Structure 1
Amino acid sequence: MRRPALLLSALIFGFATAAIANPLPDPISVTPLAQELRFKMQSPQVRELQVRLRQAKYLAVVDVEDRFGQQTREAVRKLQQDAGLRATGAVDAATWQALAQRSRQPTQAELNNTDIGPWYVAPDQPGYVMELQHRLKQAGLYQGRIDGVLNPDTRQAVAAWRQRIGLPASEVMDERTWVPLIRRTRTPRYAELFDAPPSSDMTQQLDPRCTTGKVICISRQQKKMSFVDNGRIRFTREARFAMPGWESDEGEFRIWYMNHETVSKIFGERTPMPFALFYDRNVAVHYSQDFADKGYAGGSHGCSQLRDYQVAKWLYEQVKVGDKVVVY
C-alpha cells in the first residue's frame, strides 16, 4: 500500500526510486562512542553519526554538521525501529552498533563536506551535458561547443566551478556542485540546445481519453508513455512504473505542480527527479537516472519515469499546470 500523501512540504521531494543499503562493514572500523548522543547537543561525533545515517539511507542531507537536530533525531528513531530497539531518538551503545552494521567508517572528505558524490545526472546523457555546458558558459568558464560531449574543456570547466564555490577541484558534477550552478545561471530553453523535437519511432495504442487536448498518455501494460496534442502523437517512449506494493492510481488526472529541479528526500536518500510533473498528489512524471542505468530491474515508489533527459526536458516545456495525464 502506498504511503499517505504529504502536503506542500513534500512537493519538492516526490516519489522516487528505491535503493539497497550498503553491505555491512568490518566491525573493527567502528569508532567507539565517546558519549551518548542526544537531541540539541553539539559534538564532532554527531558529524560522524549523520554521515553514517546518510550512508544507511536514513538521513537525506547533502552536508553534515556538529549539531544534533530534529531531522537527525527522527532518523535515529527510524533506525532504532528497524533494529528492534526502543525508539528514543538518542544514540546509545546498542544504537551505535546497529548503525555501524549498516554503514562504514566515514572519510575525512565526508566529514568535512568536501566528498564527491555521484553525478546529479550521469554524463552519458547528452541532453544533460549540453545543459551543463550552457550553464558553465554563462558562468564564464566554458567557451567550447554545446555538443553534449564531456570533453576535456568541459571537465576543466567543472573543476574550475567547484574551486570557485570552495570545493576541491574535481570533474564530477554532484549535487553540492550542481545546485549552486543552477541557482546562479538561467535554465536554457530546449530550442537553445536542440534543433528539433525528439524523434520517435515507437507506437502506443492510445486510450480514447488521450485524443483531445494536450495529454500525457501513460500505458502501464505497454510500458510506454506518449505526449499527444489533439490526437497527434508527438513522441512515444518506454516508461517505468512502481515496484510491487507501491502502485499509484490509474485514471484521468491534471498536472497540478511542476518543478524542474525536484530532489526526493522521502526515502532516506536524495534522489534527483528532473522535470517533475506532479499529477496525482505526490506522484509525478519525471526523468530517472536509475531507470536509465538499470532499466526494468528497478522501479519507482509510484511515479511514471522516463530515461532520456532530452525527452523529459522537451516534455516539460510542452505542458502547463492543468494539462491532462491519463494512466491506464
Structure 2
Amino acid sequence: MLSLLRPGPLAAALVGLGCLLTHPAWAGSPHEAPTPRPFSQPAPLAQELRHKMQSPLVRELQVRLRHAKYLALYDVDDRYGLQTREAVRKFQKDHGLRPTGIVDQATWDRLLPRSHQPTAAELNNTDVGPWFTGPGQVGYMKELQHRLKQLGHYQGSVDGRYDAATQRAISGFRTAVGLPASPVMDERTWARLITKTRNPRYAQLFDQPPASTLTQELDPRCATGRVVCISWAQKKMSLVVDGRPLFTRVARFARPGWESERGEFRIWYMNSDTVSTIFGERTPMPYAIFYDKNVAIHYSDDFDQVGYEGGSHGCSQLNDYQTAKWLYEQVKVGDRVVVY
C-alpha cells in the first residue's frame, strides 16, 4: 500500500497528495524518541541494480532510499519497479549524478552516508515504526479503542486513556495480523485496522462538540452560509455558519517558501485517512479536507508536538485530533473555505 486513501473513483489520482513537514515524535517506544543510528560508510556494491531486476539487494536499496527520504514506502520487496527507479533518478539528480535510474558504485557511495545499515526488521517489513497519531491525543485514542472493540481485542471503556488494557489490545491486534507484539499503533498496523473496522462517528465518542473559548476577527466573506474561515495573521481557524462561529482553534500554516493561495475556495474532496507521500516520506494527514488542489485542512501530529517550530507545505493544520474529526463531519464537498 502506498497510501491510506480509501478505494473510490478519485483514490488513484490522489495517491501521494499532501503538504506536511515530517518530524515523527512517537516512534518505537510510546514515550521516547528513537535512538539515532550511525550512517553507513561507502562500501563496494555487489552488482549494479536496475529496473525489472529482482534481488535481495533491491530490498536493501529500498530501505536506504526510505531512510534518505526518497521512497515513501513502509513495505519493501525484492523487485526493482518503476517507483524505485524514479526514486533513484531523483536521488541521482539531487546529488549531481547522471539520472540513469541505475544504481552503480557512484550512486551507492552517495546513498550509504545518507542511510543506515538496514535492520532485519526493516528488511522483513516487521519493524515498529512511528505512531500513526501520538497516544497523547484523546480523540485518536478513543477512535482506536472503538475500532479495537469492534474486533473483540478491547473490552474496556472508550475513554481515550493509553492504559495497560489498551496497550494489550494493540499488541494483540498486531500479533493477530502477523506483526510483532508491541503497544505501538504505527501506520503499518493502522492500515490493517482501518480495513477491518468502521470509523466511529464523533457522537459515538463524545457527548459534546469541542470546547471553544478563542475568538477570531472574521473576514466579511465569512458572514453568510457555512464557511471555514482561516486567518494566517491571527493563526486561527473557525467554522462559521451565517456569521456565527461554531468553534475557533489555533492553526498552523506553510513554512516560508511554501505558501499556498489566499482567497475563497470550495471543498472538492475529503478523506479521513490520507497519507502524504509526495516529499519522499510518509506523513499522516488525518481528516483531510481538500480545498485548493492538494492543499487541505487536516490534523497534524507534528503541530501538536513541536508547535510553530515546524510548518506545512501549504496546508492549514489543526493540533487537536478531536476537533479535526468533528470539523470533518460538519462540512461537505462544496462548502466554502476563506483564507485571508
TM-score range, shorter chain: over 0.9
Where does residue 187 of structure 1 map in the other structure? 199
Where does residue 187 of structure 2 map in the other structure? 175
TM-aligned CA deviation for residue 17 of structure 1: 1.8
TM-aligned CA deviation for residue 14 of structure 1: 2.6
Distance in structure 2 (CA, Å) of the matches to 1:308 and 1:164: 30
2:73 aligned with 1:61: yes
TM-aligned CA deviation for residue 230 of structure 1: 1.5
Show structure 1 runs of 4+ deviating over 2 A.
7-16, 18-28
From 14, 18, 24, the equivalent of 2:21 is 18
Percent of aligned positions that are identical: 67
Q: CA contact under 8 A between 1:45 and 1:66: conserved in structure 2?
A: yes
2:209 aligned with 1:197: yes
Equivalent position amino acid for 1:228 in 2: V
TM-aligned CA deviation for residue 18 of structure 1: 2.3
TM-aligned CA deviation for residue 27 of structure 1: 4.0
2:117 aligned with 1:114: no
TM-aligned CA deviation for residue 23 of structure 1: 8.2
Equivalent position amino acid for 1:101 in 2: P
Where does residue 41 of structure 1 map in the other structure? 53
Where does residue 144 of structure 1 map in the other structure? 156
3-state SS in 2 of match to 1:293: helix
Where does residue 31 of structure 2 map in the other structure? none
Alignment of 1:68-217 (within 5 A): 68-217=80-229
From 261, 265, 270, the equivalent of 2:277 is 265
Equivalent position amino acid for 1:139 in 2: L
Q: CA contact under 8 A between 1:264 and 1:271: conserved in structure 2?
A: yes
Distance in structure 2 (CA, Å) of the matches to 1:59 and 1:9: 18
Q: CA contact under 8 A between 1:24 and 1:101: conserved in structure 2?
A: no
Distance in structure 1 (CA, Å) of the matches to 2:207 and 2:22: 36
3-state SS in 2 of match to 1:227: strand
TM-aligned CA deviation for residue 8 of structure 1: 6.8
Q: CA contact under 8 A between 1:39 and 1:89: conserved in structure 2?
A: yes
3-state SS in 2 of match to 1:249: coil
3-state SS in 1 of match to 2:289: strand
3-state SS in 2 of match to 1:15: coil
Equivalent position amino acid for 1:15 in 2: G
3-state SS in 2 of match to 1:195: coil
Q: Deviations over 1:52-74 (max 9, x none)?
A: 00011000011000000000000
Distance in structure 2 (CA, Å) of the matches to 1:63 and 1:123: 23
Where does residue 300 of structure 1 map in the other structure? 312
Name the CA shift for 1:27/1:187 in 2 (closer, same or farther; >3 Å).
closer
Where does residue 3 of structure 1 map in the other structure? none
TM-aligned CA deviation for residue 267 of structure 1: 0.4
Equivalent position amino acid for 2:174 in 1: R
Where does residue 4 of structure 1 map in the other structure? none
Distance in structure 2 (CA, Å) of the matches to 1:70 and 1:31: 25
Give the TM-score normalised by structure 1: 0.95
3-state SS in 2 of match to 1:132: helix
TM-aligned CA deviation for residue 24 of structure 1: 9.0
Q: Deviations over 1:66-116 (max 9, x none)?
A: 000000000001111111111100001110111111111000000000000
TM-aligned CA deviation for residue 13 of structure 1: 3.1
Distance in structure 1 (CA, Å) of the matches to 2:187 and 2:83: 20
Where does residue 286 of structure 1 map in the other structure? 298
Consecutive unaligned residues in structure 1, runs of 5 or more: 1-6
Alignment of 1:234-249 (within 5 A): 234-249=246-261
Distance in structure 1 (CA, Å) of the matches to 2:223 and 2:188: 42
Name the CA shift for 1:269/1:139 in 2 (closer, same or farther; >3 Å).
same
TM-aligned CA deviation for residue 295 of structure 1: 0.6
Distance in structure 2 (CA, Å) of the matches to 1:31 and 1:167: 32
